[in-house]
Structure 1
């Protein structure tokens, strides 16, 4: 795969049973690029390793006053220089290509998994961890994949040079061959501590990033209550802890680098000291000593690759574990996977997962009423069904399950069914085309209002009709006034990130308009009017009922204004649908329903009818 051919048509199905297995799978997927980098790296290393031989031959030719051998040695140096330049250039191209393509593959896998999990992702994984994996961890994993081929070429060249050196000059060659493994393994005792310190730094950096994101997101509220200094002080402390951890980690890596410099220097001194004695005894010539010295100098270069691969592994190992843990999540899982152990029902590497999108598969069209076996909730086709649930968290989980997602803590609960078809047994694209769930806190992306409302839709509902039904007239006026070019109209006005320039009610109504434009077969709304006043809420209720006529709509709410417009109301208590009827009927007959809707502390008899 060339860089210009990215993205991958299909990044593949990763082995996510553990971090090392994921790295091994990724390396196998990059096999062509790895072989290419290994070949160019071996050529580069071999050319560099042969230079001392050519230099030694040149020196010996000068000592022996042989013009022919001097010319041959000069020609050899020229050829080796050209091969070194060619090998280094092509190795760099191949290695960087491996890095970028591996990182791109992981990014595509993460994007596909994030899209598959949808809103349930942040309920299973902290938002800071998702950001850390998508930003920093991807680069570290790509670095390790890129470093593998260079390390292997360095290892092959080192072994070949040691064998050739033993054949060329046995006395000095044996000294070098015995000392090289010691040098390569000398840093191994230091790596566990360096890895732990690097992990500590990344953990503290992730916490600081999450704290900064939370502070920025809530800055408007913090300023209102005067709490911004408190949170800024917390971030300063977290930032200083990151700095301290980074310094401690850098000290360990500097110690490893110092060992990698000091020990080869000692080996070089030993070789020169021993070689000078052999020259004095007449057992080796000056040119041979220069050759051996040059070879030892060359071996310092492959040793640096040992340090780099160790550092790359210390960073990529934890990163691969986090990525594998995130990629192992499934829509029907009740939590994250156990590291190193596949979750029950997870596929073997290479197998498809029911409910995950498969490229090329046709998207079936689902119609019919919506039914949740877990609670017994039923929303007939073409009707507006309101659901009253005293527990807001339980309502959010139930809303997600109606959209084909099994939230955490609902293991073993059957999936919701649309027209009798379980949503977790159909492709994700089909489930989302049929059922749209709007969260309690929907996100508005930055851009113009036109871009915000440019979403996949049936085409039946226009932007104007959706905005009118969601009562967004004042929102349009506000956007028009704040626009840099008021004459361009509100649709060209800019909406800031997460709509922070708008009030909570305005953001809520824009999100509702966006959901109405999609015009799905089933629309699930979780408290869509909790931030608006009663008069606006009444008009939204009328607009919603009119615009969604003939479509299945489920609204989680306890607002009497919305409940009164619903075709049927379902009371869910302790995970079960315990009462169904119209709003006025349930007020008369069901004390639990009346307590939730009227905010009573204890159920009282209905006063409007005789006991």
Structure 2
């Protein structure tokens, strides 16, 4: 695999049983690149190791005043220089290729797992953890994979030079071999300490990143309630903790670097002193001393590579473990033996809560716990949490989390309560896979986006086409209600057999909400729609309403029936205190309306949660 061939058509199925197994799996996947890098590295090391020998021959030729021998040494030196240049260039090229391809493979695997888990990912692992794995950990994993071939070449070169020194000059060769072994082992005790400090720094950085992301995402709301300084103060404290942890880690790195410089220099001084003593006593020729000195200088290079690989290995193991932990997350505990070839259809049933959404109807779900509603939305989309005993949601009797992901998502579309709008034109935003039965304008009309189109048109000019106007990333140039309505229009264009909406109208005013509820249900006629909401304006238009309490469905019926008979339902919908008695509502007025039919006369029917929050 070359860099120009990225991304991988298929990154493969990783071995995520442990971080070590994941690293070995990456190495096996790049065996060809590793062997190529090893071959060029061996050539480079052999050429560099030959330089002391050639220099020794040149010195001996100069001492003997032999022009022929000096010419031969010059030719050998030229060939060796060419070999060093070619080997070093190709080694760097292949090593960087191994690094980038390993990082790209890991990134693709993480992206595939993120796409598969969807919104349920952040309920299984912190968002800061995912960001840290996708950035710093990938770099460390690629570093380890890349340095493996250079370490192997350095090991071969060092073994060859040490063996040659023992044969060429045993007295100095033994001293050099013992010194190299001692230096190679000196740094190892320091690496676990550096790894622990780096892990602590990474954890603090992950928490700071998550805090910053939450603060930026809610900046408008924070400004509205005067909480901006409070959250900024928290981020300042978190960033200072990251700074202190970084300094703590840098001190250990500095110590390791000092050891890598000081101890090899000390070995070189000892070898030169011993060699000079032998040369002064006539027991060693000057050319031999130059050869040994050059060999020791060469050994400093593979020694640095040994220590670099030890550092890469030490730092990459926890990174690989974290990556393997994320990659090990699954949307299902098993797979269907024979998944259906046709599009799934039928009633949507969640055995965990007892929810039954009949095919072709609009079912509204009321829950006093927003987190429980969010978990239910994830489960209805086929994202059952791992290892918690929860059973799969059934669509037409088929378990959603046991069918291929593409089939599940073609059948069920889940819109989160905080949908994301990607950058691009409005036409591109609505250009999503769908049945083709719902046109863009139909969906925009149903989502009451006329004012959004007018605002986009004014921003681009009097004659501009609103569909061709660019929307900034995450729709930050739009208000919360405008973003919510455009996201709803996008979901309506997709026109899935089953549409799950989590609080789709929480950021719009009451009048717009009423129009959206009526037009959306009319557009979705004959399709299954599940709306998780506590808005009476939406509930009153649903075919069926169910109450979710304590993680299970406790009541079902129409909005008006439940208002009359269920005190717990009234407490959630009308924001009334829940009393022990279950005295029904007064039947003299229609549920959800006052005597005059005004929605606002029922306490809590339209409260601040449904007031216009476009400027929030």
Q: Identify whether the pair has TM-score above 0.5, normalized to the shorter chain.
A: yes
> What is aligned with 2:199?
199
| SS of residue paired to 1:565 | coil
- Is 1:467 the counterpart of 2:448? The answer is no
Distance 1:232 1:372 in 2: 41
Which segment drifts farther, 165-174 or 286-295? 165-174
> What is aligned with 2:606?
none
Contact 2:435 2:495 in 1 (8 A): yes
Q: How does 1:209-608 map to 2 (within 5 A)?
A: 209-332=209-332, 354=335, 364-407=342-385, 411-483=388-460, 485-601=461-577, 602=579, 603-608=582-587
Cα gap change, 1:426 to 1:475, in 2 (>3 Å): same
Aligned-pair CA distance for 1:306 = 2.0
Contact 2:165 2:292 in 1 (8 A): yes
Aligned-pair CA distance for 1:518 = 0.5
Aligned-pair CA distance for 1:83 = 0.7
Contact 1:387 1:572 in 2 (8 A): yes
Q: Residues 11-42 of structure 1: CA distance to partner in whole angstroms, max 9, x if unpaired?
A: 11111122222112111111111111111101
| SS of residue paired to 2:304 | helix
Distance 1:217 1:527 in 2: 18
Contact 1:588 1:609 in 2 (8 A): no
> What is aligned with 1:342?
none
| SS of residue paired to 1:197 | helix
Distance 2:336 2:519 in 1: 34
Q: Residues 469-506 of structure 1: CA distance to partner in whole angstroms, max 9, x if unpaired?
A: 011111222222233x4422221223233223322222
Aligned-pair CA distance for 1:242 = 2.4
State the aligned residue count: 586
Which segment drifts farther, 548-557 or 529-538? 529-538
Contact 2:565 2:584 in 1 (8 A): no
Distance 1:478 1:579 in 2: 43
Aligned-pair CA distance for 1:281 = 2.9
Computed over aligned residues only, the root mean square deviation of the Cα atoms, in angstroms, reads 2.1
Runs of 4+ in 1 over 6 A off after TM superposition: none
Distance 2:490 2:414 in 1: 12
Aligned-pair CA distance for 1:507 = 1.8
Aligned-pair CA distance for 1:231 = 3.0
Aligned-pair CA distance for 1:403 = 1.0
Q: Residues 188-214 of structure 1: CA distance to partner in whole angstroms, max 9, x if unpaired?
A: 122122222222222222222223222
Distance 1:251 1:589 in 2: 68
- Is 1:168 the counterpart of 2:168? The answer is yes
The TM-score, its normalising length taken from structure 1, stands at: 0.92
Which segment drifts farther, 500-509 or 111-120? 500-509
Contact 2:380 2:393 in 1 (8 A): yes
> What is aligned with 1:6?
6
| SS of residue paired to 2:548 | strand
> What is aligned with 2:28?
28
| SS of residue paired to 1:301 | helix
Aligned-pair CA distance for 1:289 = 0.7
Distance 1:579 1:202 in 2: 48
The TM-score, its normalising length taken from structure 2, stands at: 0.91
Unaligned runs of 5+ in 2: 590-616
Aligned-pair CA distance for 1:141 = 1.0
Distance 2:341 2:60 in 1: 76
Q: Residues 96-144 of structure 1: CA distance to partner in whole angstroms, max 9, x if unpaired?
A: 1101100110011001100110010111111111111112221221111
Which segment drifts farther, 239-248 or 47-56? 239-248
Distance 1:500 1:422 in 2: 38
Q: Residues 228-248 of structure 1: CA distance to partner in whole angstroms, max 9, x if unpaired?
A: 333333333333332332222
Distance 1:570 1:230 in 2: 39
Q: Residues 293-333 of structure 1: CA distance to partner in whole angstroms, max 9, x if unpaired?
A: 0000111111111222133234322221221111111114x
| SS of residue paired to 1:488 | coil
Aligned-pair CA distance for 1:363 = 6.0
Aligned-pair CA distance for 1:45 = 0.6
Distance 2:373 2:254 in 1: 54
Distance 1:559 1:140 in 2: 49
Distance 1:494 1:69 in 2: 75
Distance 1:31 1:559 in 2: 59
